[in-house]
Amino acid sequence: MGYDVNSYFALEPTFGTPQDFKEFVDSAHSRGIAVIMDMVFNHLNETSALWQMQPDEVANPYFKYCTDLRPNEDNLCFFKDLDHWTTQTQELVYTALKMWIDDYHIDGFRYDYTQGIGWSRNEPTKGVPGWTKKIASDYNNSIYQIAEHLPESPALVYYSGLTSSWHGRFRESLYNETDNQNTSLSDFQNLILDVKTSGGNDTPLLPLTIAAECSR
């Protein structure tokens, strides 16, 4: 349940049956409501079939040591760390996403902790860009793909198939407004329109075309 993930292809039984979920999605769609699933692709737990079949980070192509960092990956460990630089993991994630879209008619996904997955502008088939670009291409950019990437990384969105990502500065201002009611409407407008970020550590942080414009 939650972020302690066992399988990407099955629902938590205590939440209902597959038919229950299909009826929920159909009911939401009939009311004009899109359904966005929360997907945790950074890790799986020790009871997952993928780990149990070969409980070894070196021998199992789906996993790696959490300290074995990929480009733009943060070193924060949860359960068993997936290696999104292998073709096996890329195919796993892609196949899971297609199942939820094709069989359940899901409208999009919120990807948890993408900073724990990594990405590289020079390796478009690896990390987050790999499966997001394939889904975007397969479904003509009609699927919402939202990254929980804090601090935010405009370059990741630009070089991947993501439609958007969390905006840390906007989120912080929204929380501040909830607590203190002292954020102006113009401040919110500037945060929505601005490409500036909260100072993340991704390389590059901004798309190179935008970065060049900002340096002038």
For domain 13-214, the question of CATH label 3.20.20.80 is answered with yes
pLDDT tens-digit readout, 161-204: 999 987 666 666 666 666 677 777 676 666 655 555 556 789 99
Q: How far is CA 168 from CA 50, 177, 178, in A?
A: 33, 14, 15
Whether residue 24 is predicted with pLDDT greater than 90 in this model: the reply is yes
Is the pLDDT assigned to residue 216 strictly greater than 70? no
- Portion of the chain with pLDDT greater than 70, in percent: 83
Q: Which of 26-40, 72-86, 187-201 bottoms out in mean pLDDT, i.e. has the lowest? A: 187-201
Rounded average pLDDT over 20-49: 97
List the domain boundaries for the chain. Answer: 13-214
Q: What is the pTM of this model?
A: 0.86
Q: What is the pLDDT of residues 102-160, one digit of tens each?
A: 999 999 999 999 999 999 999 999 999 999 999 999 999 999 999 998 788 889 999 99
Question: Which residues make Cβ contacts (< 8 Å) with residue 61, sequence separation at least 6?
Answer: 83, 86, 88, 89
The three-state DSSP-derived secondary structure of the chain is CCCCCCCCCCCCHHHCCHHHHHHHHHHHHHCCCCCEEEECCCEECCCCHHHHCCCCCCCCCCECCCCCCCCCCCCCCCCEEECCCCHHHHHHHHHHHHHHHHHHCCCEEEECCHHHCCCCCCCCCCHHHHHHHHHHHHCCCCCEEEECCCCCCHHHHHCCCCCEECCHHHHHHHHHHHHHCCCCHHHHHHHHHCCCCCCCCCCCCCCHHHHHHHCC
